[in-house]
Amino acid sequence: VVYLILKDNFSTFRVAIEYNVPTLGGFANSEIEAGLIRIDGPQRLNIEAKSVDDTLLTEAERNVRQAQAGVPTVTGDRDPAQFRSLVDDSRELTLNGTWSTGFGEGGSDGSLSVNAAFTRNDSRALLGLDTVLLIDPGGNSAIRSLGDPLERNRRTSTVQGGATLNHRIGDWQLSATVDASHVDTATRVDQRGATGALVEAAAAGLLAIDGPLPSVASGGTERTRSKDLSVSSLLTLAGTPFRLPAGDASLTVRAGYDHDRSRNRDSLGRAAPLTLTRGDVSTGFNLGLPVTSRKEGVLGAIGDVSLNLSAGINHLSDFGSLTDWNAGITWNPVESLSLQASYIVNEAAPSLGNLGSPELAVFNVPVYDFSLGQTALVTIISGGNPNLRKETQRDLKLSANWDLPVLERSNLIFEYFRNRSDNVTRSFPLLTPEIEAAFPERVTRVDGNLTQIDRRPVTFDRASGSRIRWGLNLSGRIGADIRSAGSGPPSVPGSGGTAPSPASGGQRFDPARFAALREKLCGSDAAPDISALPEDMQVRLRNPDGSVDAERLARMKQRICAAQAEGGAGAGFDPDRMSR
């Protein structure tokens, strides 16, 4: 939905409420949204608030098949599927606002924009029940469920803010941006209880494997906390530094500084509290050079040729220097055909999150084991990997764009893209036998059964890919031009011809007739003689007793006198609308 607001001073307040439930029931989604828009000359203010709430949906409510290793075999034990969530219980609150203003007449001297936002997300996930395999001295076994449901609770609070300034300095355009965000994430995960005593008692014959079980002490709760701060600033200056025979050269110079800090800790002490800080000083340029030009008469026989060169350097306080550069050429042999080629080299560092997020273990996660062909409930380890490397990307792009001679805005496009990257940082992929063979230290099995996967990010030695994309875009008008329909001269009374039928919603517009009507109504302040008006207008302007309604006549006069006397041929002239 696009709103076009044409008033200089305008304000509106809106509220929207939405409630969604699936046909199978089980959970619900609700949204409440409110917004304020205010326009006061060059100033704009936009404030929005939104609340989204999702209720809990368990695996039992959707009859999800459970892994046999986690299903209790003793009647009366609770079903873990009732305590494992498909959809987490969550709520998200968002508040954001933007204010902007223009400088000079119509904003010609620049603009300033300021924005701020706050988001809070709370979620609760059920991870199932503690289960234990008990074996008695006779070799009989039973799977038992015990204890309270295991939960994962997470709260994330995000504060963001930023400002953008655009200003012209002579023939140059200056742009400055500053953005900052702070993300605070707290996670609590219930740990499994100590079931070793139950296993030993059952093996010694001291505990009936299908009888009542003694209470088991809780395994406690693991707490992790991460606080991420990010501040970025960028200053760009764009203009035309010099002129070549084929046209003006374009230059954009940029400089910036980014600061990132990540603080992470966990309550179980698997890793010491960790603080990662990164400063990034960057600078670079982009230069466009016209080489040939038909318009300027410089080697116009071969068409328009331009070169594009750019380069940049980033110095990271924790990773050293990273460089990037690219070169490209654009050739338009004719106006309707554009050919482009570019080669891009870029170095990238892993994010602070990939390097240093706190290590976290989540239990009873269903994972399909391709090696055994069954689903297993495993422990998933997530977090950062400090051993990730710097990535180097090399891209080649070739493209062609031909504006077709048929229809309007229709073209044929062709693109070829090739990527070659070394030391690529990726999330741990889907566990297949091939991936397990490549990363054996990331997978734990007990008696052949999958029990744990370490899904922290990994570095791939090389990644490559290529693709070809082509498309045909057709856009244009089908049939006669609406403005030219019926654009012939008005029929002359008595000519024997049949006058064209009125357009839908009104009579055919006659500019000369409308101008004469304006002259009669607007030429003086005296009350006009409505007998000269069209019959439909007269009927609407009269009261039931035949007298003229002065209020309706005044409104009609105001509308006609304020309207433009010109109108495109074929436009509808609606006396009903004019006389209301």
In whole angstroms, give the CA distance from residue 204 to residue 207: 8
pLDDT confidence of residue 143: 93
Please state whether beta strands 337-348 and 320-334 pair in parallel, antiparallel, or not at all (unpaired).
Answer: antiparallel
* Long-range CB contacts for residues 461-466, cutoff 8 Å, separation at least 24: 461/422, 461/423, 462/420, 462/421, 462/422, 462/424, 463/419, 463/421, 463/424, 463/426, 464/418, 464/419, 464/420, 464/421, 465/418, 465/419, 466/416, 466/417, 466/418, 466/419
Cβ neighbours of residue 288 closer than 8 Å, sequence gap 6 or more: 249, 250, 251, 306, 307, 308
In this prediction, what percent of the chain has a pLDDT beyond 70? Answer: 81
Structure tokens at 451: 């029990």
Neighbouring-strand partners of residue 227: 184, 263
- Measured between its terminal Cα atoms, the distance across the chain in Å is 30
In terms of C-beta density within 10 A (0-12 exposed, 13-18 middle, 19 or more buried), how is residue 442 classed?
A: middle
Show Cβ contacts of residue 532 under 8 Å, excluding neighbours closer than 6 positions: 517, 520
Helix (H), strand (E) at residue 551: helix 550-562
The identity of residue 542, as a single letter, is R
Place of tokens 């005296």: 526
CA distance 346 to 322: 8
Domain ranges of the chain: 1-210, 243-482, 510-579
Q: Please report which confidence band the pLDDT of residue 348 belongs to, taking 50, 70 and 90 as the band edges.
A: very high
User: What length is written for the chain?
Assistant: 580
- Identify whether the C-beta of residue 366 lies closer than 8 Å to the C-beta of residue 380: no
Give the three-class secondary structure for 105.
Answer: helix
Show Cβ contacts of residue 133 under 8 Å, excluding neighbours closer than 6 positions: 141, 142, 143, 199
pLDDT per residue as tens digits for the range 111-167: 999 999 999 999 999 999 988 999 999 999 999 998 889 999 999 999 999 999 999
Q: What is the DSSP letter of 562?
A: H
Q: What is the pLDDT of residues 494-551, one digit of tens each?
A: 434 433 444 334 445 556 666 666 666 665 555 566 666 666 677 677 776 666 777 6
Q: Residue 239 CB: number of other CB atoms within 10 A?
A: 17
The pLDDT of residue 496:
40
Dihedral sign of CA atoms 244, 248, 249, 251 in order: positive
CA 89 to chain centre: 23
365-398 residue pLDDT tens: 889 999 999 889 899 999 889 889 999 999 999 9
Q: Collapsing DSSP states into helix, strand and coil, what is residue 429?
A: coil
Q: Residue 38's closest CA among 93, 95, 100, 105? A: 100
List the beta bridge partners of residue 374: 369
pLDDT in tens, 14-27: 999 999 999 998 99
Q: For 253-287, what is each residue's pLDDT tens digit? A: 999 999 999 888 877 665 567 788 999 999 999 99
Whole-number CA gyration radius for the chain: 36
pLDDT tops 60 at residue 566: no
pLDDT at position 567, please?
41
pLDDT in tens, 43-52: 999 999 999 9
Greater model confidence, 474 or 118: 118
For 180-248, the DSSP string reads: EEEEEEEEEEEPPP--HHHHHHHHTTSS-TTS---------EEEEEEEEEEEEEEEEEEE---EETTEE
Q: Which tokens go with 402?
A: 């031909």
